[in-house]
Amino acid sequence: MTSRKRTRVVGRPYPKVDGAAKVTGQTKFADDIVLPRMLHCKLLRSRLAHARILSIDVSRALAAPGVVAVVTGRDLPIPFGILPVSQDEHALSTDRVRYVGDPVAAVAAVDEDAASDALAAIDVEYEPLPPVGTIEEGLRPASTPLHDYGDSGNIHKLVSMEFGHTDDGFARADRIYEDLFFYEGSTHLPLEQHAAVADFGPDGRLTLWSSTQTPHYVHRALSKVLAMAPSKVRVIATSNGGGFGGKSDVFNHEIVVAHLSRVTGRPVKICLTREEVFYCHRGRHPTLMKVRTGVKRDGAVTAMHFQTVLDGGGYGSYGVASTYYTGALQTVTYEIPAYRFDGARVFTNKPPCGPKRGHGTPQPRFAVEVQLDKIACDLGLDPVEIRRRHLHPRGTLTANFLRVGSMGLGACIDKVVAASGWGTRRGRLPYGRGLGLACSSYLCGAGLPIYWNSMPQSGVQLKLDRSGGVTVFCGSTEIGQGSDSILASIVAEVLGIDPFDIRIVTGDTDLTPVDLGSYSSRVTLMTGNAAIQAAERARAMLAAASAGKLGIPESRVALDGGRVFDAEDPGKGIAFPEAVALAESRFGTLGTVGSYSPPPSAGRYRGAGVGPSPAYSYSAAVVEVEVDPETGIYAVEKVWIAHDVGKCINPVLVMGQVEGSVYMGLGEAMMEEMAYRTDANGNVVHKFPSMLEYKSPTTKEMPPVETFLVEDPDDNGPFGAKEVGQGPLLPIPPAVANAIFDAVGVRIDEVPVTPEKIYRALKAKALGQPPRYGPAGFPPVPYPEPIHVPTPAEGGDGKAVDAAVTGAGGVR
Amino acid sequence: MARNAKKNWDADGRAVVGLVVNGQALEAAFAPHKTLLEVLREDLNLPGTKHGCELGECGTCAVLVDGKPMLSCLLLGLECEGRRIETVEAMSGPGGLHPLQKAFADLGAAQCGYCTPGILLTAKALLEANPNPSLAEIREALAGNLCRCTGYIKIFEAVELAAAWLRGEAAQPRHESLYGSDFDESGLLPVVRNGNG
């Protein structure tokens, strides 16, 4: 499916196709939609972190001025959840609230003020329950667990798997290192607050406009919870004002406004407040990690045992997948011949965690890369060499049966090492100044869909009209990453026309074929391949119809520059619209389809559904810091990053994704914290649900970034392309921590790396204690006995050896 | 704050306020507690002005009031009697995009585009006061505008490019800002095949 021939559009810098709309403020976001007779919705949210709902009385609210309808959980009893295994949410809580912000009732009124005022007139009687605030509390036996499902008490999920023989691997090691790490939670903080508008028409059809990354999954959930035929439900994903994973769940408010529109017969809009966006969350899981790694003297890993516990918050969300992801991608960067992973996720009375850029992998990547830095130091190796020497070979399977295809990590390392002056500067800068290196890898789309099915993960339809117009229909969702532009570029490349002459219709479940959504960095690879197939089919029809007119064989027909011509005599040709008209005359109304399904996974063990991907992107980064050794206050002075994107479809978009990922990685590394406190009444509350207190980098914290794009084309990528939206975030937090060590000689084994933690570690160092700040212990976790999977090197076939626990791949 | 006693009230208890919006003098009637942000979006049908927090924390809703960037979520519509309000809707015209808009589009300084109107207007005020700002001055001017997509880098570069255009220079986007550093411009980009070297 890849093409190595010279390209005309692919690889060239184009503005985004929606760029003009965006710079003129004309892009319609969900909250910009205004419909006649529209009502406004507000949600009543719990102020208790954990409580039973004893009663809800809405009679006073119903009588309030301007109020048209009030609904509670009793009106929407069918549960939902993004994963089939975690159908644990209700549009409005039925009998229990599980975090501060959990919605219990909703009002539709003539304006927002009337709806807000009416919330105060809803009387809810609660019986407070003891809240679970931390991972440690979540692991304890519980008298009243948050949910009546899960692996035990408040433990939502426990997994354990071993690939190869880690005992043998540790026995072969010259040294064994054991380290503890903690990665704090953070939230997406899209500047657009979530908004949705529902319109239930007199024909019994529902339309929902929503700032969602996953209209297909919202479509399925609406149909289920509202008990409506899917054919009567239409979900339109409006352009997202930032997503980053935060709009890829199905949200309470989307279902509630749909239901309110159904009961009132009027359109209903909701736009969440910024405080509510913090409560929606679904962000990075706080994760505690214990890593045991055996190495030879040259730094070769002989075995790794990786343990994680994730603080999941109040609901399942993507959490089962997140848990597996904290153990999945350790193996795709450096060779790890024997690998064991134990993972656990606990429910706590906090907003649910879910997928944030990098989904479940920045936490373990932080641990792996900081530990490698420590190992290199201890063995007297250069942190570059310990990585460079042991890169996973391309075109082979990892111990856990992930297929590494193209692998440009070595080239990435070379670029940032050379540009940063690593060889002459690292370890030699004045005290207080330091360089840190880290590497990473990420998926180009999850190998499996969220619900089991054997249909394509992405579909594209093309319509060609006789005037020469080309329209692309695809279910993908433009969240700012440029997915509409990618579709336009690829179709333009194949048909030899200008990308700006193509109309793009995306993210509309009535009009567009299914694409699973903008998550797991799947869009360029999957929609791109589907678009190539659809466009090649259209191209074949145009070539067949034009060949006769040009008097040449079809094989000589070329399409470029808006013309269809003889490749051997380019002067002889016709305009593109004429070719379309000829094709329509010959074949009838013109339309083609394309679809994409990822290759089957090699792993066949239980849990093998998380981790496989058609391709993996690679990144390497060097970060330079300046630390004040008196206070621990530091600044990131510069970042060098190289990213193996396979092939740039549009370098402008690729650069933007790399720089944006570096920025978001710096936010997590330096300051962002989704933190909670227990108030005087024992309630677990968000520490600061506002942008003023939730610190994110401004223009003044953002350092210069020097970016290197590396192209190592992958056979599975469209034109060789791989992902870029998430991967370049991953090396940043560990590179910052490693740079701090180079600068002042202390290890911060925790994200965010704050001045206070550096200060404490410097204090400890001065007192002769271990020069480190990080978790002191790892709680006992009842991980099960692992399944045993022989590795490819051992001749394994991808299945676990104990037949009793063997199952097909997938999250079950 | 303009404390104009000459305010009128309509029969529904709405304040009737005279504003100059995007060059046009008009009277708007709105509930007196409404912010300028709400007046623009809900009463004047100008949804190009966005909101990210409505608490003065993110800069998304910035508009120009008498030529200065102000957070429209922290201004009451009432306070704007007689003042000149400029929103993103007025930046482009029949002549095409404002140089800032073109530079933002060309360089990918607008990704999701949601913070873009506020940043464009803030940058416009900067360039009107200082046609040749240093990078530090651009950072300072935009320090109150959050962007979660771009890492600000393309925004800085776009402001610099637009400033050059506005000064009449025939500037082009820098090669490394489109392709990254050390990257072949040929269009057929170098293929790395020695990744594991």
Tokens (6 digits) for A435:
């360089």
In the prediction, which pLDDT does A6 show? 80
In the prediction, which pLDDT does A725 show? 97
Say how far apart CA B123 and CA B193 lie, in whole Å.
43
Count of residues making up chain A: 812
A242 touches chain B (CB under 8 A): yes
Element (H, E) at A325: helix A319-328
B105 CB neighbours in chain A (<8 A) are 15-16, 19-20, 22-23
Give mean pLDDT, residues A20-27: 98
CB proximity under 8 Å: B 89-148 to A: 89, 91-92, 97, 100-102, 104-108, 110-117, 120, 138-140, 142-148
A-to-B residue pairs, Cβ atoms closer than 8 angstroms: 242
Strand, helix or coil at B10? coil
A705 touches chain B (CB under 8 A): yes
Token pair 């003297």: residue: A297
**Does A656 contact B173 at a Cβ distance shorter than 8 Å?**
no
B57 CB neighbours in chain A (<8 A) are 274, 690-692
Strand, helix or coil at A708? strand
Give mean pLDDT, residues B114-141: 98
**Does A27 contact B113 at a Cβ distance shorter than 8 Å?**
yes
In the prediction, which pLDDT does B155 show? 98
What does the DSSP 8-state code read for residue A363?
H
Q: Report the residue of chain A nearest B33, measured CA to CA.
A: A113
What's the sign of the alpha-carbon dihedral B82, B84, B88, B92? positive
CB proximity under 8 Å: A 130-159 to B: none
Q: How confident is the model at residue B182 (pLDDT cuts 50, 70, 90)?
A: confident
Do A323 and A159 contact (CB within 8 A), yes or no? Answer: yes
ipTM for the complex shown:
0.96
pLDDT tens digit sequence for A208-239: 999 999 999 999 999 999 999 999 999 999 99
**Does A656 contact B108 at a Cβ distance shorter than 8 Å?**
yes
Token pair 């299945």: residue: A799
**Does A18 contact B104 at a Cβ distance shorter than 8 Å?**
no
Say how far apart CA A23 and CA A45 lie, in whole Å.
36
Query: β-strand A616-627 against A634-644: which pairing, if any?
Result: antiparallel
Token pair 């304890």: residue: A140
Q: What are B154-157's contacts with CB under 8 Å, separation 24+?
A: B154/A655, B154/A656, B154/A659, B154/B107, B154/B108, B154/B109, B155/A699, B155/B104, B155/B109, B155/B119, B155/B123, B156/A699, B157/B107, B157/B109
Query: Which residues have C-beta within 8 Å of that of residue A551, sequence separation ≥ 6?
Result: none
A122-131, A704-713, B93-102, B186-195: which has the minimum mean pLDDT? B186-195
In the prediction, which pLDDT does B194 show? 38
Q: How many CB atoms lie within 10 A of CB A71?
A: 20
Do A30 and A196 contact (CB within 8 A), yes or no? Answer: yes
Strand, helix or coil at B121? helix
Q: How confident is the model at residue A807 (pLDDT cuts 50, 70, 90)?
A: very low
pLDDT greater than 80 at residue B197: no
**Minimal C-alpha gap between A388 and chain B (Å):** 8
pLDDT greater than 90 at residue B5: no
A652 CB neighbours in chain B (<8 A) are 106-108, 178
Test mutation, B37, B46, B111, chain A, max A CBs within 10 A: B111
By CB neighbour count within 10 A (0-12 exposed, 13-18 middle, 19+ buried), where does A262 fall? middle
Q: What are phi and psi of A126, to 5 degrees?
A: -115, 150
**Minimal C-alpha gap between B82 and chain A (Å):** 25
Nearest to A274 among B53, B106, B144 (CB): B53
pLDDT greater than 80 at residue B188: no
A709 touches chain B (CB under 8 A): yes
Say how far apart CA A198 and CA A219 lie, in whole Å.
12
Query: Which residues have C-beta within 8 Å of that of residue A453, sequence separation ≥ 6?
Result: none
pLDDT greater than 90 at residue A164: yes
In the prediction, which pLDDT does A1 show? 38
pLDDT tens digit sequence for A195-205: 999 999 999 99
Give mean pLDDT, residues A787-796: 98
**Does B152 contact A702 at a Cβ distance shorter than 8 Å?**
yes
Query: β-strand A301-311 against A339-346: which pairing, if any?
Result: parallel
pLDDT greater than 70 at residue A2: no
Residue closest to A482 by CA, chosen among A647, A642, A654, A720: A654
Do B102 and B161 contact (CB within 8 A), yes or no? Answer: no
**Minimal C-alpha gap between B54 and chain A (Å):** 8
B142 CB neighbours in chain A (<8 A) are 699
Alpha carbon distance, N-terminus to C-terminus of chain B: 67
Q: How many CB atoms lie within 10 A of CB B68?
A: 15
Say how far apart CA B50 and CA B59 lie, in whole Å.
9
A663 touches chain B (CB under 8 A): yes
Query: β-strand A233-237 against A175-183: which pairing, if any?
Result: unpaired
Please report, to the nearest 10 degrees, the dihedral formed by the alpha carbons of residues A361, A364, A370, A376 taken in order: -100
Say how far apart CA A208 and CA A238 lie, in whole Å.
10
Test mutation, B38, B98, B150, B192, chain A, max A CBs within 10 A: B192
In the prediction, which pLDDT does B6 show? 57
Nearest to B57 among A662, A692, A705 (CB): A692
In the prediction, which pLDDT does A16 show? 97
Q: How confident is the model at residue A5 (pLDDT cuts 50, 70, 90)?
A: low
In angstroms, the Cα distances linking A283 to A182, A215, A318, A353 are 16, 19, 10, 5
A190 touches chain B (CB under 8 A): yes
Q: How confident is the model at residue B184 (pLDDT cuts 50, 70, 90)?
A: low
Q: How confident is the model at residue A810 (pLDDT cuts 50, 70, 90)?
A: very low
Q: How confident is the model at residue A395 (pLDDT cuts 50, 70, 90)?
A: very high
pLDDT greater than 50 at residue A812: no
pLDDT tens digit sequence for B19-54: 999 999 999 999 999 999 999 999 999 999 999 999
In this prediction the pTM is 0.96
Strand partners, A403: A397
pLDDT greater than 70 at residue A806: no
pLDDT tens digit sequence for A476-531: 999 999 999 999 999 999 999 999 999 999 999 999 999 999 999 999 999 999 99
Tokens (6 digits) for B151:
């890492």
Alpha carbon distance, N-terminus to C-terminus of chain A: 32
Do A700 and B139 contact (CB within 8 A), yes or no? Answer: yes
B14 touches chain A (CB under 8 A): no
Residue closest to A470 by CA, chosen among A512, A507, A501: A501
What does the DSSP 8-state code read for residue A7?
-
**Minimal C-alpha gap between B1 and chain A (Å):** 24
Please report, to the nearest 10 degrees, the dihedral formed by the alpha carbons of residues B123, B125, B128, B129 taken in order: -110
Give mean pLDDT, residues A103-127: 98
Average confidence score pLDDT of chain A: 96
Q: How confident is the model at residue A570 (pLDDT cuts 50, 70, 90)?
A: very high
